[in-house]
Amino acid sequence: MDNLFVSNHPLIKHKLTKLRDKDTDPKKFRELIREIAGLLAYEATNDLQVSPKDVETPMATAKGFELQEKIGLVPILRSGLGMVEGVWELMPSAEVWHIGLYRDERTLKPVEYYNKLPVSPSVGLCLILDPMLATGGSAIATIEVLKRWGVKRIKFMGIIGAPEGIGLVHREHPDIPLHLAAVDDHLNEIGYIIPGLGDAGDRMFGTDY
């Protein structure tokens, strides 16, 4: 499928296996989410624009580069928050924008309850962060908010995707690249990814009662 990038990196595969493990505790879970997010961001940003910039070393002038594009991180609350730090470590000047969506348990459709975007976009590229691309509803709703807001370049970064969600996002927004660590088998009747890792938010924030 065009625009679907599933990482083949051994570090990501190893960390994802630990992340899925039901015995991984919330502290380790958060650490793994952060690390995987950083590794995925490294792969997802390999086409960022740079401009030439000379730099003085202690010895002479060297030809170098600087990033041209301003980047916005858009975590889908709540589990997308766990991915922010890992990406931010690589690009500390990125801006973080919050859009709150929750999934209606009955319709499985996203409901927007919080949106703190400024009037016009101040960034060139937005990375949407959500560990679980399940039904695709939240991803599509977020993409639509960002497109309406005027963002020119958008990428989605997730950790596990279900074929159903990937297919839907791709059908509705074929222009949006999807960067994932794995594609799983299917969604169950209540919208969970199988085999997946359970509820990412609950496992991250320790609310898995």
Catalytic residues: 103, 107, 199, 202
Q: Between 151 and 183, whose beta carbon lies closer to ligand URA? A: 183
To ligand URA, the closest distance from the beta carbon of 85 in angstroms equals 18
Query: Cα separation of 38 and 195, whole Å?
Result: 23
To ligand URA, the closest distance from the beta carbon of 79 in angstroms equals 6
Which tokens go with 194?
Answer: 């199988």
Q: Between 29 and 125, whose beta carbon lies closer to ligand URA? A: 29
Which tokens go with 13?
Answer: 């595969």
CA 107 to the chain's CA centroid = 24
To ligand URA, the closest distance from the beta carbon of 204 in angstroms equals 9
Q: Between 125 and 137, whose beta carbon lies closer to ligand URA? A: 137
Q: Between 34 and 70, whose beta carbon lies closer to ligand URA? A: 34
Residue 80: closest CA among 134, 23, 28: 134
Question: Which residues are at the interface with ligand URA (CB under 6 A)?
Answer: 79, 132, 134, 191-193, 196, 199-201
Amino acid at position 162, single letter: A
To ligand URA, the closest distance from the beta carbon of 93 in angstroms equals 30
- Secondary structure letter of residue 90 according to DSSP: T
Q: Kindly tell me the burial class for residue 95, based on how many C-beta atoms sit within 10 Å of its own C-beta (0-12, 13-18, 19 or more).
A: middle
